[in-house]
Amino acid sequence: MNDDAPASARQPRNPLHGVTLEAMLTALVAHFGWPELGARIQINSFVTDPSIGSSLKFLRRTPWARAKVEGLYLFMQREQARTRRG
């Protein structure tokens, strides 16, 4: 692969490419709500006085938690695509 290619061309098959952590979290909260999100991913910032800001701060410092959020986001995207198709 050409190392001079723009960043957008380097990850054509990455479904998370270009999606910010804030956008993922906002979509998850809109879809599941804080209580369900806290039940699915047991993170204190999702359960006790949840907010986007405090959750982002935690997720940016905690790789395992971010990986769980990314996984749930991808799951939600697949489920929404299935629902739209049929």
Domains, the chain, ordered by start: 18-85 (1.10.720.30)
Those residues whose C-beta lies under 8 Å from the C-beta of residue 47, and which sit 6 or more positions away, are: 34, 38
Q: pLDDT (tens digit, 9 = 90+) per residue, 51-84?
A: 999 999 999 999 999 999 999 999 999 999 898 8
Q: Is the pLDDT of residue 2 over 70?
A: no
pTM of the entire predicted model: 0.82
Provide mean pLDDT across the span 6-24. Answer: 81
